[in-house]
């Protein structure tokens, strides 16, 4: 896996080619003094359980198009993780979160546009209105209710989601 900073050869402030490694997670311009840090992007994912079934999405886009996923996505600038989780849930499923409980986080590498975006994925147990029916939209090609007893982590295309499914199933037993 290529370090994301290896893709940046010029200072984004002054355009100088004197933009070199400052530390493992930063580059510094020796001309203007600007330092750029490569930090993890925040992302969310929802465990929504009804009647012993987990709501899963089939990915409509790369990376891992066609594989299983959990509803969720990137937290936008200016949002809390909870706000991002609520927004992504509405965008992908049409559901509104009634309550959310944070469970755990996992690091991930998300390959996009020729580079690896390092993320910190935040996992929530989300309760929604029992009568509301989810509708696939945005990044979700389809939504499926899968029995917890039949979940197969290897069918989930993103590494952190696979690991999260394993952790979630261990908690549910």
pLDDT in tens, 51-106: 999 999 999 999 999 999 999 999 999 999 999 999 999 999 999 999 999 999 99
Q: Is 129 exposed, middle or buried (0-12, 13-18, 19+ CB in 10 A)?
A: exposed
Nearest to 47 by CA among 139, 151, 123, 113: 123
CA distances from 167 to 83, 103, 129, 162, 171 (A): 24, 10, 25, 9, 6
Residue 128, CB-side half-sphere exposure with 13 Å CA sphere: 23
Please give the share of the chain, as a percent, with pLDDT higher than 70. Answer: 99
Same domain, yes or no, for 10 and 77?
no
Record the pTM: 0.91
Encode pLDDT of 153-173 as tens digits. Answer: 999 999 999 999 999 999 987
Whether residues 12 and 56 fall in one domain: no
Cα separations (Å) of 85 from 30, 93, 143?
A: 40, 12, 17
Q: Is 89 found in the same domain as 77?
A: yes
Q: How confident is the model at residue 7 (pLDDT cuts 50, 70, 90)?
A: confident
Mean pLDDT over 21-46 rounds to 96
The answer to whether residues 14 and 74 belong to one domain is no
Domain around 28: 4-37
The answer to whether residues 74 and 156 belong to one domain is yes
Residue 126: pLDDT band with limits 50, 70, 90: very high
Q: Are 21 and 7 in contact (CB under 8 A)?
A: no
Domain count, the chain: 2
Q: What is the predicted pLDDT for the residue at 1?
A: 57
27 and 94 fall within a common domain: no
Same domain for 31 and 77, yes or no, is no
Q: Return the pLDDT at 146.
A: 97
Dist. CA 147–CA 30, nearest whole Å: 56
User: Are residues 49 and 33 located together in one domain of the fold?
Assistant: no
**32 and 45, same domain (yes or no):** no
């Amino acid at each position: 896996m290529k370090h994301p900073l290896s893709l940046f050869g010029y200072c984004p402030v002054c355009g100088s080619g004197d933009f070199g490694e400052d530390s493992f997670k930063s580059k510094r311009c020796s001309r203007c003094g600007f330092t750029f840090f490569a930090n993890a992007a925040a992302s969310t994912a929802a465990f929504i359980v009804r009647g012993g079934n987990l709501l899963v999405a089939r990915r409509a886009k790369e990376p891992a198009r066609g594989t299983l996923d959990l509803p969720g996505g990137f937290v936008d600038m200016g949002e809390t993780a909870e706000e991002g989780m609520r927004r992504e849930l509405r965008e992908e499923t049409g559901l509104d979160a009634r309550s959310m409980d944070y469970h755990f986080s996992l690091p991930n590498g998300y390959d996009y546009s020729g580079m690896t975006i390092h993320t910190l994925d935040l996992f929530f147990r989300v309760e929604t209105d029992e009568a509301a029916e989810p509708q696939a939209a945005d990044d979700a090609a389809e939504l499926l209710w899968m029995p917890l007893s039949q979940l197969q982590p290897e069918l989930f295309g993103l590494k952190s989601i696979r690991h999260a499914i394993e952790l979630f199933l261990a908690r549910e037993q």
